[in-house]
Structure 1
Amino acid sequence: MGWAWICLALALLPASVGLVNLVLLPRLRPPTAAPAGRLVSILVPARDEAANIEACLDAALASRGVAVEMIVMDDGSRDGTGEIVARRAAADSRLRLLAAPPLPPGWTGKVHACALLAEAARGSHLLFIDADVRLAPEAAAALAEHAAARGIAMVSGVPRQRILSLGEALTVPAINLLLLGYLPGGGRAFTRRPDLAAACGQLVLCDRAAYAAIGGHGAVRGVLHDGLALARRFRLQGLRTEVVDGAPLATCRMYRGFRESWAGFVKNAREGMATPLGLPVWTTLLAGAHLWPWALLPSGPAAAAILLMLALRAAITLRAREPWWTVPLHPLTVAVALAIQWDALARAALGRPAGWKGRAYPATKAA
């Protein structure tokens, strides 16, 4: 069997998985009326988010279709984040500001802040979002309704990613490519196995009782990729989790430029693909389907593999509402994604801690 045919076979895998996942990915609808007794607590861990927090507050406090409260945990900010939230809280009783105590040993910063937020929340559902997330008006209502109506303990989705620079275009689209193209079931609730769990930490809603039953964020205190760790924890306890179409629910500009994107993805890679056993397999799968065919042109099977992968990327881009101009960059995006994973693995092998926002953490295997 020639190399070009091997590439085509490797391309057929994500093409078929992606087609099924795109068809099955649920798009949520809010309830027709606000359910009595349901309260969604919108919880935001914030560290040095002065540039983001006000727009986050505006969007979340404009929620409709369900009663909401909003709590922001100022986690040692040095840029005036707390002052902005305090001013807004004085004018809106639904908003509260809390200050995180010093970070205890064994915890990562965001996870610690989320655990404290959950303790302070009063809601029947806990909606954890990052400060750079802008919720759609009916997002909280739709997420809570989906969880309650289907008995799902945790619902997550990838917000529509705002991509405004070349550096972001070479990194951020890999999120949806890997989720939809390479995860059987795409994180749907019928895939109950923990190793098929998925989540995006930017947008996570948990049923409060189920969250307490698994030990909440305290059960995954040492991780950096908290959304994925929580999803696996729920499933290990026999509870259902689901990834839904997040593009209509929220938007997010997670990084600004190439350097920040690289650092952010390196941080999370150490709890995902960047393992000594897993990364060679991922390199074969991704390079074989998305990169090697270009070197084998004008072979017919290689051309077919390229067309399949560009079609898959275009379909995912359309569904995720990402910019069309990022599609022609697809081979470079895959190459950069692999480079990030190998960089993360090398850093771990050298004992270099993962760092983010002035804190350094040892690499910890996700739960």
Structure 2
Amino acid sequence: MLALTLLGLALAALFAGMVAANLAALQPPPRAEGALPAVSLLIPARDEAENIGAALDGALAQQGVEIEVVVLDDGSTDGTAEIVAARAGADPRVRLLHGAAMPEGWIGKTHACWQLGQAARHPILLFVDADVRLAPDAAARLAGQMERAGLDCLSGFPRQITGTLAEKVVIPQIFTTLLGYLPLPMARRSPEPSFGAGCGQLMAVRRAAYEAAGGHAAFSGRMHDGLLIPRNVRKAGGRTDLTDATPLATCRMYDTPGDIWRGFSKNATEGMATPRALPVWTLLLFGGHVLPILTLLAALIAGAPWAAGLSALAVALVYAARAAMAVRLRQSWLSVLLHPLGVLVVLAIQFSALVSARRGGQTEWRGRSYGRGGA
């Protein structure tokens, strides 16, 4: 029990320390001042009739920077294109593109974003998912931070809206991995591509850097643009960074347990769910977030006060870090309370995705089937 108790305490302390450092480093971009380069807001849309109107409202409300809004309808069957066409007829800043047939070997959203990037007219490309709602100063603050810091790519996670219990349990785990295990201060100092990270929901990139990195065509058969664009920009010699986008935008990613499972599964094998990575992530997540609870219970049952004290300290460190994240990112307190359950669900999704990939399984998304890992 001593070894497991000390292991859990060490991993919990690692997580808590990393969260503290990252929350201090991850700040929202300040209010923009002065002249800014124009921004193309690029929205890929497939069967987004319920979302696209609100997405356009937020995009067209941008202040402090010249914009255009380009929406690519990727074969929608629910009236998405008609909604955008009506808005384009009323506002010359809006353009509707009809997606071309997807070439063999491409992924749907990747192909849509590639076409948007080619059609954009302004020097900064801001890729925005259709379920993202922008604050009026979002584009200006992102462009201003890029100018101020000399960045070629700037991304951040919008505030994640979680309505159901399943959302509250699982969605915040995105930030557990990001803020708990990516050393942001080191990532800013190092040009290494492996430190590149971002969020495909809200990704700003200079046109020149995007083209130098090969754009979305550089990873045509893969899904994880949030990682691949920043890493490719770094490989091409550009500078990337993450920002706290909590005040810039909101997003409700998934609203049913099935969508959560499928959504997290569809690009799992491009992240955690690989034979090399998953054992490491299992050690970090299970060992640092679940094991201390188990050793605490075991110590209490066995009447081992020294082990109980160390395990209680580990549990307290994890919950203190999660509470700090919840305050900063405006997360549900229920997500904090149920944090260990969220970790277990995420690990279950990753193991399921890995097993499915090794069996040649498919994932369904937006009416399309993809091999695990985007193949």
- TM range, normalised to the smaller chain? over 0.9
Q: Is the 8 A contact 2:28 2:246 kept in 1?
A: no
Alignment of 1:1-367 (within 5 A): 1-35=2-36, 38-185=37-184, 188-297=187-296, 298=300, 299-364=308-373
Aligned partner of 2:304 in structure 1 is none
Deviation at 1:354, TM superposition (A): 2.9
Deviations 1:255-310 (A, max 9, x none): 01211111100112111000011101111111111111111123111111111111
Q: Is the 8 A contact 2:267 2:373 kept in 1?
A: no
Deviation at 1:208, TM superposition (A): 1.0
Alignment root-mean-square deviation, CA: 1.4
Aligned length: 364
Paired with 2:150 and 2:363, the residues of 1 have a C-alpha distance of 36
Deviation at 1:187, TM superposition (A): 8.2
TM-score, structure 2 as length reference? 0.94
- SS of equivalent residue, structure 1 residue 270: helix
Deviations 1:197-217 (A, max 9, x none): 211100000011111111111
Larger Rg, first or second structure (1 or 2): 2
Q: Percent identity?
A: 50
Distance 1:187 1:256, change over 3 A: farther
Deviation at 1:188, TM superposition (A): 4.8
Deviations 1:156-212 (A, max 9, x none): 000000000011112100111110011112785323222222111000000111111
Q: Is the 8 A contact 1:185 1:191 kept in 2?
A: no
Kindly provide the amino acid, as one letter, of the partner of residue 126 in structure 2.
Answer: L
Kindly provide the amino acid, as one letter, of the partner of residue 176 in structure 2.
Answer: L
- SS of equivalent residue, structure 1 residue 296: helix
Q: Is the 8 A contact 2:155 2:204 kept in 1?
A: yes
Q: Is the 8 A contact 2:268 2:373 kept in 1?
A: no
Kindly provide the amino acid, as one letter, of the partner of residue 346 in structure 1.
Answer: V
Paired with 1:214 and 1:288, the residues of 2 have a C-alpha distance of 37
Kindly provide the amino acid, as one letter, of the partner of residue 303 in structure 1.
Answer: A
- SS of equivalent residue, structure 2 residue 69: strand
Paired with 2:178 and 2:221, the residues of 1 have a C-alpha distance of 23
Paired with 2:137 and 2:35, the residues of 1 have a C-alpha distance of 11
Paired with 2:92 and 2:348, the residues of 1 have a C-alpha distance of 47
- SS of equivalent residue, structure 2 residue 133: strand
Q: Is the 8 A contact 1:166 1:257 kept in 2?
A: no
- SS of equivalent residue, structure 2 residue 121: coil
For structure 2, the 5+ residue unaligned runs are 301-307
Q: Is the 8 A contact 1:125 1:144 kept in 2?
A: yes
Deviation at 1:30, TM superposition (A): 3.0
Q: Is the 8 A contact 2:154 2:243 kept in 1?
A: yes
Kindly provide the amino acid, as one letter, of the partner of residue 25 in structure 1.
Answer: L
